[in-house]
Homo-oligomer: A and B are copies of this chain.
Amino acid sequence: MGGAGRGRRVTIADVASHAQVSTTAVSKVLRNAYGVSTAMRERVRAAIDELGYRPHHAARAMRGRTFTIGVLLPHINNPFFAEILDGLMEQLGGTDYQAIIVQGGRDDTSERRAIDALVDRQVDGILMVVPLSSKARLEEVAAGTPTVVLGPHERSALYDSVHGDDEAGAELAVGHLIALGHRRVAHLGQQDLGHGRPATMLHAIRERTYRRVMAEHGLADEIAVAATAYTEEGGRRGAHELLARDPRPTAIFAGADLAAFGALAALHEAGLSVPADVSLAGYDNTRAAGLAHLALTTVDQDGTLMGRTAARLLLERVAGGRASSVRFSVTPSLVVRRSTGPPQDAA
Protein backbone atom coordinates (compact mmCIF):
# COMPACT_ATOMS: atom_id res chain seq x y z
CA MET A 1 0.00 0.00 0.00
CA GLY A 2 0.80 3.65 0.13
CA GLY A 3 2.33 5.10 3.25
CA ALA A 4 4.97 4.08 5.71
CA GLY A 5 3.02 1.29 7.34
CA ARG A 6 -0.45 0.52 8.68
CA GLY A 7 -3.41 2.84 8.81
CA ARG A 8 -4.95 5.30 6.42
CA ARG A 9 -2.63 7.98 5.20
CA VAL A 10 -2.89 11.56 6.38
CA THR A 11 -4.54 13.80 3.79
CA ILE A 12 -5.02 17.51 3.50
CA ALA A 13 -8.56 16.92 4.75
CA ASP A 14 -7.13 15.65 8.03
CA VAL A 15 -4.80 18.59 8.25
CA ALA A 16 -7.65 20.94 7.42
CA SER A 17 -9.99 19.65 10.10
CA HIS A 18 -7.18 19.51 12.63
CA ALA A 19 -6.31 23.13 11.90
CA GLN A 20 -9.95 24.15 11.64
CA VAL A 21 -9.60 25.47 8.12
CA SER A 22 -10.58 24.40 4.63
CA THR A 23 -8.66 22.04 2.41
CA THR A 24 -8.16 24.92 0.02
CA ALA A 25 -6.25 26.77 2.68
CA VAL A 26 -3.99 23.81 3.31
CA SER A 27 -3.36 23.40 -0.38
CA LYS A 28 -2.42 27.03 -0.66
CA VAL A 29 -0.01 26.86 2.21
CA LEU A 30 1.62 23.81 0.72
CA ARG A 31 2.17 25.55 -2.57
CA ASN A 32 3.12 28.90 -1.06
CA ALA A 33 0.27 30.43 -3.00
CA TYR A 34 -1.12 33.91 -2.49
CA GLY A 35 -4.07 34.73 -0.35
CA VAL A 36 -3.33 33.18 3.01
CA SER A 37 -3.04 35.10 6.23
CA THR A 38 0.02 34.59 8.36
CA ALA A 39 -2.06 33.32 11.23
CA MET A 40 -3.68 30.67 9.09
CA ARG A 41 -0.36 29.73 7.57
CA GLU A 42 1.03 29.13 11.04
CA ARG A 43 -1.91 27.03 12.14
CA VAL A 44 -1.70 24.91 9.03
CA ARG A 45 2.02 24.39 9.34
CA ALA A 46 1.61 23.31 12.92
CA ALA A 47 -1.10 20.83 11.98
CA ILE A 48 1.10 19.45 9.20
CA ASP A 49 3.92 18.83 11.62
CA GLU A 50 1.73 17.33 14.31
CA LEU A 51 0.06 14.92 11.94
CA GLY A 52 3.22 14.13 10.02
CA TYR A 53 1.49 14.92 6.78
CA ARG A 54 3.26 14.19 3.50
CA PRO A 55 1.78 15.30 0.17
CA HIS A 56 0.45 12.48 -1.95
CA HIS A 57 2.64 12.60 -5.01
CA ALA A 58 0.23 10.99 -7.45
CA ALA A 59 -2.71 13.12 -6.42
CA ARG A 60 -0.54 16.14 -6.86
CA ALA A 61 0.60 15.00 -10.25
CA MET A 62 -3.01 14.77 -11.39
CA ARG A 63 -3.37 18.53 -11.34
CA GLY A 64 -0.06 20.23 -10.72
CA ARG A 65 3.67 19.72 -10.45
CA THR A 66 5.55 16.57 -9.57
CA PHE A 67 8.70 18.33 -8.37
CA THR A 68 10.68 15.79 -10.27
CA ILE A 69 13.47 16.23 -12.79
CA GLY A 70 14.00 13.27 -15.07
CA VAL A 71 17.50 12.47 -16.26
CA LEU A 72 18.18 10.26 -19.23
CA LEU A 73 21.61 8.66 -19.18
CA PRO A 74 22.81 6.32 -21.93
CA HIS A 75 24.40 4.03 -19.37
CA ILE A 76 25.72 4.62 -15.89
CA ASN A 77 29.09 2.96 -16.51
CA ASN A 78 30.74 6.09 -17.86
CA PRO A 79 32.28 8.07 -15.01
CA PHE A 80 31.90 11.28 -16.96
CA PHE A 81 28.14 10.99 -16.57
CA ALA A 82 28.63 10.72 -12.84
CA GLU A 83 30.26 14.15 -12.91
CA ILE A 84 27.40 15.63 -14.87
CA LEU A 85 25.01 14.16 -12.36
CA ASP A 86 27.03 15.58 -9.48
CA GLY A 87 26.63 19.03 -10.97
CA LEU A 88 22.92 18.54 -11.41
CA MET A 89 22.41 17.24 -7.88
CA GLU A 90 24.38 20.13 -6.49
CA GLN A 91 22.20 22.64 -8.28
CA LEU A 92 19.01 20.85 -7.28
CA GLY A 93 20.16 20.65 -3.67
CA GLY A 94 18.51 23.80 -2.41
CA THR A 95 15.24 23.23 -4.23
CA ASP A 96 12.24 20.96 -3.73
CA TYR A 97 13.10 19.08 -6.88
CA GLN A 98 14.20 15.47 -6.91
CA ALA A 99 16.15 13.87 -9.72
CA ILE A 100 15.24 10.45 -11.02
CA ILE A 101 17.45 8.69 -13.53
CA VAL A 102 16.56 6.28 -16.29
CA GLN A 103 18.97 4.37 -18.46
CA GLY A 104 18.58 4.80 -22.20
CA GLY A 105 20.65 1.85 -23.38
CA ARG A 106 22.35 1.05 -26.65
CA ASP A 107 19.70 1.57 -29.28
CA ASP A 108 17.12 4.25 -29.85
CA THR A 109 14.24 1.87 -29.29
CA SER A 110 15.22 1.29 -25.70
CA GLU A 111 16.04 4.97 -25.34
CA ARG A 112 12.57 5.85 -26.53
CA ARG A 113 11.09 3.60 -23.92
CA ALA A 114 13.14 5.28 -21.23
CA ILE A 115 12.13 8.76 -22.33
CA ASP A 116 8.49 7.71 -22.49
CA ALA A 117 8.79 6.49 -18.93
CA LEU A 118 9.87 9.97 -17.89
CA VAL A 119 7.14 11.70 -19.84
CA ASP A 120 4.52 9.29 -18.54
CA ARG A 121 5.61 10.03 -15.00
CA GLN A 122 5.00 13.69 -15.74
CA VAL A 123 8.37 14.91 -14.63
CA ASP A 124 8.49 18.69 -14.58
CA GLY A 125 11.66 18.78 -16.64
CA ILE A 126 13.90 16.41 -18.56
CA LEU A 127 17.65 16.41 -18.98
CA MET A 128 18.76 14.18 -21.81
CA VAL A 129 22.42 13.32 -21.70
CA VAL A 130 23.90 12.42 -25.09
CA PRO A 131 20.63 11.07 -26.48
CA LEU A 132 20.55 8.97 -29.64
CA SER A 133 17.08 10.02 -30.68
CA SER A 134 16.45 12.25 -33.66
CA LYS A 135 16.06 15.97 -33.23
CA ALA A 136 12.43 15.66 -34.30
CA ARG A 137 11.82 13.20 -31.51
CA LEU A 138 13.53 15.42 -28.94
CA GLU A 139 11.41 18.36 -30.04
CA GLU A 140 8.31 16.26 -29.73
CA VAL A 141 9.21 15.64 -26.11
CA ALA A 142 10.30 19.22 -25.54
CA ALA A 143 6.96 20.48 -26.81
CA GLY A 144 5.28 18.83 -23.87
CA THR A 145 7.92 19.01 -21.15
CA PRO A 146 10.67 21.54 -20.44
CA THR A 147 13.80 19.95 -21.82
CA VAL A 148 17.54 20.46 -21.81
CA VAL A 149 19.75 18.38 -24.05
CA LEU A 150 23.36 17.77 -23.12
CA GLY A 151 25.79 16.63 -25.76
CA PRO A 152 24.63 17.18 -29.33
CA HIS A 153 25.48 20.46 -31.01
CA GLU A 154 21.99 21.36 -32.03
CA ARG A 155 20.12 24.54 -31.68
CA SER A 156 16.44 24.11 -31.21
CA ALA A 157 13.76 26.63 -30.43
CA LEU A 158 12.12 24.12 -28.14
CA TYR A 159 14.89 23.04 -25.83
CA ASP A 160 18.14 24.34 -24.39
CA SER A 161 21.47 22.82 -25.32
CA VAL A 162 24.54 22.31 -23.20
CA HIS A 163 27.65 20.87 -24.71
CA GLY A 164 31.40 21.00 -24.80
CA ASP A 165 33.15 22.58 -27.72
CA ASP A 166 34.09 19.24 -29.20
CA GLU A 167 35.71 20.80 -32.23
CA ALA A 168 38.06 22.79 -30.07
CA GLY A 169 38.70 19.79 -27.85
CA ALA A 170 39.46 17.39 -30.65
CA GLU A 171 41.64 20.01 -32.29
CA LEU A 172 43.62 20.42 -29.08
CA ALA A 173 44.24 16.69 -28.83
CA VAL A 174 45.06 16.01 -32.47
CA GLY A 175 47.06 19.23 -32.74
CA HIS A 176 49.07 18.24 -29.69
CA LEU A 177 49.95 14.86 -31.19
CA ILE A 178 50.92 16.37 -34.53
CA ALA A 179 52.96 19.07 -32.84
CA LEU A 180 54.90 16.34 -31.08
CA GLY A 181 55.93 15.12 -34.49
CA HIS A 182 53.44 12.36 -35.11
CA ARG A 183 52.18 11.77 -38.63
CA ARG A 184 50.37 8.47 -38.34
CA VAL A 185 47.77 9.59 -35.85
CA ALA A 186 44.77 7.25 -35.66
CA HIS A 187 41.38 7.78 -34.10
CA LEU A 188 39.18 5.64 -31.88
CA GLY A 189 35.60 6.69 -32.52
CA GLN A 190 32.11 5.52 -31.87
CA GLN A 191 29.82 3.82 -34.30
CA ASP A 192 26.56 5.59 -35.04
CA LEU A 193 23.76 3.88 -33.16
CA GLY A 194 20.81 6.19 -33.39
CA HIS A 195 19.58 6.69 -36.90
CA GLY A 196 18.63 10.26 -36.33
CA ARG A 197 21.27 12.87 -36.61
CA PRO A 198 24.86 11.66 -36.73
CA ALA A 199 26.23 14.99 -37.88
CA THR A 200 25.58 16.79 -34.61
CA MET A 201 26.53 13.97 -32.26
CA LEU A 202 29.61 14.67 -30.24
CA HIS A 203 31.40 11.53 -31.36
CA ALA A 204 30.82 12.51 -34.97
CA ILE A 205 32.19 15.97 -34.35
CA ARG A 206 35.29 14.64 -32.68
CA GLU A 207 35.91 12.30 -35.57
CA ARG A 208 35.18 14.90 -38.22
CA THR A 209 37.50 17.37 -36.53
CA TYR A 210 40.20 14.71 -36.36
CA ARG A 211 39.87 14.21 -40.11
CA ARG A 212 39.90 17.94 -40.78
CA VAL A 213 42.96 18.67 -38.66
CA MET A 214 44.82 15.76 -40.20
CA ALA A 215 43.99 17.04 -43.67
CA GLU A 216 45.01 20.57 -42.78
CA HIS A 217 48.42 19.28 -41.84
CA GLY A 218 48.76 17.41 -45.10
CA LEU A 219 48.15 14.10 -43.38
CA ALA A 220 44.96 13.14 -45.19
CA ASP A 221 46.57 9.90 -46.34
CA GLU A 222 47.37 8.92 -42.78
CA ILE A 223 43.80 9.09 -41.55
CA ALA A 224 42.78 5.87 -39.82
CA VAL A 225 39.60 5.46 -37.84
CA ALA A 226 38.18 2.55 -35.89
CA ALA A 227 34.57 3.19 -35.01
CA THR A 228 33.54 0.98 -32.12
CA ALA A 229 32.16 2.32 -28.87
CA TYR A 230 33.17 4.72 -26.12
CA THR A 231 33.74 1.83 -23.70
CA GLU A 232 36.73 -0.11 -22.43
CA GLU A 233 35.95 -3.07 -24.66
CA GLY A 234 35.26 -0.83 -27.63
CA GLY A 235 38.56 0.92 -27.19
CA ARG A 236 40.41 -2.32 -26.85
CA ARG A 237 38.89 -3.82 -29.99
CA GLY A 238 39.37 -0.63 -31.97
CA ALA A 239 42.96 -0.24 -30.92
CA HIS A 240 43.77 -3.81 -31.93
CA GLU A 241 42.26 -3.05 -35.29
CA LEU A 242 44.35 0.09 -35.67
CA LEU A 243 47.55 -1.58 -34.50
CA ALA A 244 47.11 -4.34 -37.05
CA ARG A 245 47.66 -1.85 -39.87
CA ASP A 246 50.97 -1.62 -41.61
CA PRO A 247 52.60 0.69 -40.93
CA ARG A 248 50.97 1.03 -37.58
CA PRO A 249 50.05 4.41 -36.10
CA THR A 250 52.47 6.11 -33.73
CA ALA A 251 49.68 7.93 -31.91
CA ILE A 252 46.05 7.33 -31.09
CA PHE A 253 43.43 9.90 -30.25
CA ALA A 254 40.57 8.22 -28.42
CA GLY A 255 37.22 9.98 -28.40
CA ALA A 256 36.70 9.13 -24.73
CA ASP A 257 38.86 8.19 -21.75
CA LEU A 258 37.02 4.91 -21.38
CA ALA A 259 38.07 3.94 -24.90
CA ALA A 260 41.58 5.12 -24.14
CA PHE A 261 41.78 2.73 -21.19
CA GLY A 262 40.78 -0.09 -23.49
CA ALA A 263 43.46 1.05 -25.91
CA LEU A 264 46.03 0.93 -23.13
CA ALA A 265 45.13 -2.71 -22.64
CA ALA A 266 45.45 -3.42 -26.33
CA LEU A 267 48.81 -1.70 -26.49
CA HIS A 268 50.00 -3.74 -23.57
CA GLU A 269 48.78 -6.91 -25.21
CA ALA A 270 50.65 -5.97 -28.36
CA GLY A 271 53.81 -5.49 -26.35
CA LEU A 272 53.99 -1.79 -27.13
CA SER A 273 54.88 0.81 -24.56
CA VAL A 274 53.30 4.21 -24.02
CA PRO A 275 54.38 6.76 -25.07
CA ALA A 276 57.65 5.34 -26.41
CA ASP A 277 56.02 3.19 -29.10
CA VAL A 278 52.60 4.77 -29.30
CA SER A 279 51.25 7.99 -27.84
CA LEU A 280 47.70 8.00 -26.53
CA ALA A 281 45.28 10.82 -25.81
CA GLY A 282 41.76 10.59 -24.43
CA TYR A 283 38.77 12.84 -23.86
CA ASP A 284 36.82 13.77 -20.70
CA ASN A 285 39.55 13.90 -18.08
CA THR A 286 37.84 11.36 -15.90
CA ARG A 287 39.15 10.76 -12.42
CA ALA A 288 40.99 7.62 -13.49
CA ALA A 289 42.86 9.44 -16.25
CA GLY A 290 44.63 11.49 -13.62
CA LEU A 291 45.91 8.51 -11.66
CA ALA A 292 49.69 8.42 -11.64
CA HIS A 293 50.14 5.01 -13.17
CA LEU A 294 47.95 5.86 -16.13
CA ALA A 295 48.73 9.56 -16.49
CA LEU A 296 46.60 9.89 -19.57
CA THR A 297 46.83 13.01 -21.67
CA THR A 298 43.24 14.03 -22.21
CA VAL A 299 40.79 16.82 -22.92
CA ASP A 300 39.17 18.32 -19.85
CA GLN A 301 35.65 19.70 -20.12
CA ASP A 302 34.23 20.15 -16.63
CA GLY A 303 31.26 17.83 -16.47
CA THR A 304 30.19 19.25 -13.14
CA LEU A 305 29.78 22.69 -14.67
CA MET A 306 27.79 21.19 -17.52
CA GLY A 307 25.49 19.40 -15.09
CA ARG A 308 25.06 22.48 -12.94
CA THR A 309 24.27 24.62 -15.94
CA ALA A 310 21.84 22.11 -17.38
CA ALA A 311 20.00 22.01 -14.06
CA ARG A 312 19.89 25.77 -13.84
CA LEU A 313 18.48 26.13 -17.35
CA LEU A 314 15.95 23.42 -16.66
CA LEU A 315 14.74 25.08 -13.48
CA GLU A 316 14.39 28.35 -15.35
CA ARG A 317 12.27 26.64 -17.97
CA VAL A 318 10.18 24.83 -15.41
CA ALA A 319 9.52 28.08 -13.60
CA GLY A 320 8.34 29.40 -16.95
CA GLY A 321 10.64 32.35 -16.81
CA ARG A 322 12.06 31.99 -20.28
CA ALA A 323 10.48 31.65 -23.68
CA SER A 324 13.53 31.64 -25.92
CA SER A 325 15.96 28.77 -25.99
CA VAL A 326 19.57 28.94 -25.05
CA ARG A 327 22.79 27.24 -26.03
CA PHE A 328 25.62 26.87 -23.56
CA SER A 329 29.03 25.75 -24.72
CA VAL A 330 31.89 24.76 -22.43
CA THR A 331 35.40 25.40 -23.66
CA PRO A 332 37.68 22.45 -23.08
CA SER A 333 41.38 22.46 -22.30
CA LEU A 334 44.14 19.98 -22.85
CA VAL A 335 45.71 18.22 -19.89
CA VAL A 336 49.07 16.90 -20.95
CA ARG A 337 50.30 13.92 -18.96
CA ARG A 338 52.74 11.15 -19.63
CA SER A 339 50.84 9.11 -22.19
CA THR A 340 51.95 11.32 -25.04
CA GLY A 341 55.41 12.13 -26.31
CA PRO A 342 57.39 12.50 -29.50
CA PRO A 343 57.44 9.53 -31.86
CA GLN A 344 60.36 7.14 -31.58
CA ASP A 345 62.02 7.91 -34.90
CA ALA A 346 61.74 11.63 -34.29
CA ALA A 347 63.12 11.40 -30.77
Give the interface of A toward B (CB within 8 A). 1-6, 54-55, 57-62, 66, 68, 73, 75-77, 79, 81-82, 85, 89, 98-103, 105, 113-114, 116-117, 119-122, 140-141, 143-144, 232-233, 236, 261-262, 264-269, 287-288, 291-294
In whole angstroms, how far apart are the Cα atoms of A60 and B57 in the complex?
A: 12
In whole angstroms, how far apart are the Cα atoms of A102 and B6 in the complex?
A: 25
Interface pair A4/B141, CB less than 8 Å apart: yes
In whole angstroms, how far apart are the Cα atoms of A173 and B3 in the complex?
A: 44
6 more A-B residue pairs beyond the given contacts A58-B59, A58-B66, A101-B102, with a C-beta to C-beta distance below 8 A: A89-B103, A98-B102, A101-B103, A236-B291, A265-B291, A265-B294
**Given A76-B85, A98-B102, A100-B117, does the pair A122, B4 have CB atoms closer than 8 Å?**
no
In whole angstroms, how far apart are the Cα atoms of A117 and B101 in the complex?
A: 12
Most buried by B among A58, A85, A89: A58
Interface pair B291/A122, CB less than 8 Å apart: no
The contact of A75 among B3, B82, B232, B294, by CB within 8 Å, is: B82
The contact of A2 among B102, B122, B262, B287, by CB within 8 Å, is: B122
The contact of A3 among B114, B144, B267, by CB within 8 Å, is: B144
**Given A57-B120, A85-B103, does the pair A5, B76 have CB atoms closer than 8 Å?**
no
In whole angstroms, how far apart are the Cα atoms of A232 and B122 in the complex?
A: 37
17 contacting pairs across A/B (C-beta < 8 A): A3-B144, A4-B119, A4-B140, A4-B144, A5-B144, A54-B120, A58-B59, A58-B66, A58-B121, A76-B101, A85-B103, A98-B113, A99-B102, A100-B101, A232-B287, A261-B291, A265-B292
Interface pair A82/B89, CB less than 8 Å apart: no
Interface pair A58/B144, CB less than 8 Å apart: no
Closest to A73 in B: B76
Interface pair A267/B293, CB less than 8 Å apart: yes
Please give the distance in Å from A316's CB to the nearest CB on chain B.
Answer: 18
**Given A236-B291, A268-B292, does the pair A117, B98 have CB atoms closer than 8 Å?**
yes
* Residues in chain B near residue A268, CB distance under 8 A: 291-293
The contact of A288 among B4, B140, B261, by CB within 8 Å, is: B261
In whole angstroms, how far apart are the Cα atoms of A120 and B122 in the complex?
A: 14
* Residues in chain B near residue A262, CB distance under 8 A: 291
* Residues in chain B near residue A140, CB distance under 8 A: 4-5
In whole angstroms, how far apart are the Cα atoms of A294 and B261 in the complex?
A: 10
Interface pair A291/B232, CB less than 8 Å apart: yes
Interface pair B102/A100, CB less than 8 Å apart: yes
Closest to A291 in B: B265
* Residues in chain B near residue A55, CB distance under 8 A: 120
Please give the distance in Å from A265's CB to the nearest CB on chain B.
Answer: 4
In whole angstroms, how far apart are the Cα atoms of A81 and B101 in the complex?
A: 14
